[in-house]
Amino acid sequence: MDITSEIMTRESRAIMNTYTRQPICLVRGSGARVWDAEGNEYLDFVAGVAVNSVGHCHPRVVQAIKAQVERLIHTSNLYYIENQVVLAERLRELSGMDKAFFCNSGAESVEAALKLVRKAKGSSDLVAAVGSFHGRTLGALGTTYKPAYREPFRPLNEARFVPYNEIEALKAAVGRDTAALILEPVQGEAGVHVPDEDYLRAARQICDDRGAMLIFDEVQTGFGRTGKWFGKDHSGVCPDLMTLAKAVAGGLPMGVMLASEEYSNVLQRGDHASTFAGSPLLCASALAAIGAIEDEGLVERSREMGSYLRDRLEDLGQKEVRGLGLMVGLDISIPAADVVSQAREKGVLLNNTGEETIRMVPPLVVGVEQIDRVVKVLAEILE
């Protein structure tokens, strides 16, 4: 029995069966490449689901983690944490938001936002988009569209779902009693759907007119993924609340909920908390990842490489190519799960978000030759 088969057998006895896993065990990574337990090399166009934006084991992130581990790993939020303050200041500068609440994941950042909305508005009347994904915890799950995710766990505080990228639908759904509208600047799990240029601006105006709060879920679109620091920057819209996670800490688990000045003091002492959030270690890693994105021009690189990737994918003559930066969706004419499996056998890791949809969110450090290799593999499979 090889190493991977042994791990698969042991996993079936020890871990709850909640994941559909690819039959490989990854043990090492560098940049846009990973290796499995048998020594096979892959180009990683999944990147931990848009987490490893600066690449696997970026030297700057690794060094920051090593240095911090030798000094202090965890203290809890009973004490002041310098790294946390520095990171919050950097996020203010980058996002234009006012204050941060640190947590441990994207779902937790959405939970924090929904909790703030409840306190600010005294209501949990929510509007979300068809195709949305905001997490699987009970609060966030109520704003996640896919019925199969919600059905086993009802009753939930469920949002009213309206078609994405339809301004008239927003006007009809967001009313005087609506507490908040939550949107992804680019829908990720739905297959990478980019709205029209005026959609987010219209959402902001509609919320202002009706007195509703506007939440942008930037868990997947943040930190250069779309070719700007945040997805909202393409439209110049500032939300009331913003949720972050995935790429923020260079591969370590971190979530952040940011609030605009108007709502930055709604949550007071005792209203919300998290034991592990914003630890010295996690914040050191996040600061290193942000520094790498800045110093290596990875936001610009995402824009350039994303444009190149989409152009190359257009050459395949498939149904549709969508995306912003290095957040790309490809609709194909054969079952996407089969393409994912065949690509893996050829040394390329991909992810399908629908029966005929491939999502690509490679590390922002990916290069032209690596993109060419992935497109070549896709061409071979699709032919």
Domains in the chain: ranges and CATH: 3-54+297-382 (3.90.1150.10), 60-295 (3.40.640.10)
How far apart are alpha carbons 213 and 194 in whole angstroms?
A: 22
Query: Please, which residues bridge with residue 329 across strands?
Result: 322, 359
Model confidence over 125-149: pLDDT tens digits? 999 999 999 999 999 999 999 999 9
Of 240, 283, 239, nearest in space to 91 by CA:
283
If you average pLDDT over residues 291-308, what whole number do you get?
A: 98
How far apart are alpha carbons 237 and 245 in whole angstroms?
A: 20
The structure's pTM equals 0.97
Sign of the dihedral defined by the CA atoms of residues 202, 206, 208, 213, in that order: negative
pLDDT at 355: 96
If you average pLDDT over residues 295-307, what whole number do you get?
A: 98
Catalytic site includes residue 101: no
Which is catalytic among the residues 102, 133, 223, 230? 133
Task: Report the 10 Å Cβ neighbour count for 70.
Answer: 8
pLDDT at 70: 98
pLDDT above 80 (res 40): yes
pLDDT above 90 (res 1): no
The CA-atom distances, in angstroms, between 331 and each of 190, 307, 316 are 12, 17, 11
Catalytic site includes residue 223: no
Which is catalytic among the residues 36, 44, 217, 233? 217
DSSP code at position 246: G
How far apart are alpha carbons 132 and 184 in whole angstroms?
A: 7
Model confidence over 173-210: pLDDT tens digits? 999 999 999 999 999 999 999 999 999 999 999 999 99
Catalytic site includes residue 66: no
Considering all CA atoms of the chain, what is the largest pairwise distance in Å, rounded to the nearest integer? 64
